[in-house]
Homo-oligomer: A and B are copies of this chain.
Amino acid sequence: MTQKLQTPNTVWHHATVTRARREQLNGHKAAILWFTGLSGAGKSTIAHAVEEHLHQQGHRTYVLDGDNVRHGLCGDLGFSIADRHENIRRIGEMTRLFADAGIVALTAFISPLRADRNIVRRLAGADFIEVYCRCPIEICEERDVKGVYSKARAGEIKEFTGISSPYEEPDKPELVIDTSSVSIEESVAAVMACLQRRGVGRPGVPADMLNQAA
C-alpha cells in the first residue's frame, strides 16, 4: 500500500516505535540513575564505572556530566541558584528523552537543591533512581581532585557548593553510597543490586555474544 503524503486523511504522523519496542530490542529496561553529592564525592567516577559494567553486560547507556553538558546544552548557564535550577531542569528533561529512547541514563551533577531534584523525580516517575554519594566535605576538600576547593576557599570561585552555596541531602534516596569508606567496585555492586531489585538489569549476557549476533 502506498501512502501519499498529500492526502490529509492518510497522513501518518505519530511515533510507532515506542519505548517498549526499544526496550525489547535492547533486551533490558531503561532507567535514570541520578547521582548527587558534593564536588569530589565520587559521582562521576562511580557513574562511569557503573556504565562500564552495564555496557559489558550489553546494556545501552549514557552518562551526562559536566564534560558533555556544561559547555553544550547548558553552555549559556552560570552557577547562580536560578541557573543551577535551569541546568537541572534541562538535564532532567534530557534524561527523560534518553529513557524514552530505551537507554539507562546516568547523571553526575552536584544537583544541590532538593526541590530541583524532586522536580525531576516527579517528571520521571518510576524511572528515577536517586543515588546519594555521601562524603564529608573535609574529605572532598582533602581530595580536591580538580583543585576547586582551594580556589573556592580563596574566593576565586563564587557560589561553590558546600562552602558558599548550600547542599541539601536527599530525603529518601533510592541508594546511599558512603564514598569515604567504600571502593569503586563495592559502589558498582550496590548500584547493580539496586537496578536488579527494580527489574532494570538484563541477565548477564557477555557483550561478545551480542556482537556475534549483530
Q: Which residues of A contact B (CB under 8 A)?
A: 2-6, 8, 11-17, 21-22, 24-27, 42, 44-46, 48-49, 51-52, 55, 58, 60-64, 67-69, 72-73, 75-76, 86, 90, 93-94, 96-98, 100-103, 139, 143-145, 179-180, 182-185, 187, 202, 205, 207, 209-214
Q: CB distance B11 to A210 under 8 Å? A: no
CB closest residue in chain B, given A96 = B72
Number of copies: 2
Task: Give the chain B neighbours of A144 by CB distance below 8 A.
Answer: 8
Task: Give the chain B neighbours of A21 by CB distance below 8 A.
Answer: 55
Can you list 26 A-B pairs with a CB-CB distance of less than 8 A?
A5-B46, A5-B182, A5-B183, A5-B187, A6-B143, A6-B179, A8-B143, A12-B184, A13-B44, A13-B45, A16-B48, A17-B51, A24-B211, A25-B60, A25-B207, A25-B210, A25-B211, A25-B214, A60-B101, A62-B97, A62-B101, A64-B97, A73-B97, A90-B90, A94-B97, A101-B101
Q: Given A13-B44, A48-B12, do A60 and B62 touch, yes or no (CB 8 Å)?
A: no
Q: CB distance A214 to B202 under 8 Å? A: yes
CB closest residue in chain B, given A46 = B5
* 20 further contact pairs, Cβ within 8 A, besides A12-B45, A13-B44: A2-B183, A4-B184, A5-B179, A5-B184, A6-B139, A8-B143, A12-B48, A12-B184, A13-B145, A25-B58, A26-B60, A27-B211, A72-B96, A72-B97, A73-B94, A73-B97, A75-B93, A101-B101, A205-B213, A212-B213
Q: Given A68-B97, A97-B72, A214-B58, do A4 and B45 touch, yes or no (CB 8 Å)?
A: no
Task: Give the chain B neighbours of A13 by CB distance below 8 A.
Answer: 44-45, 48, 145
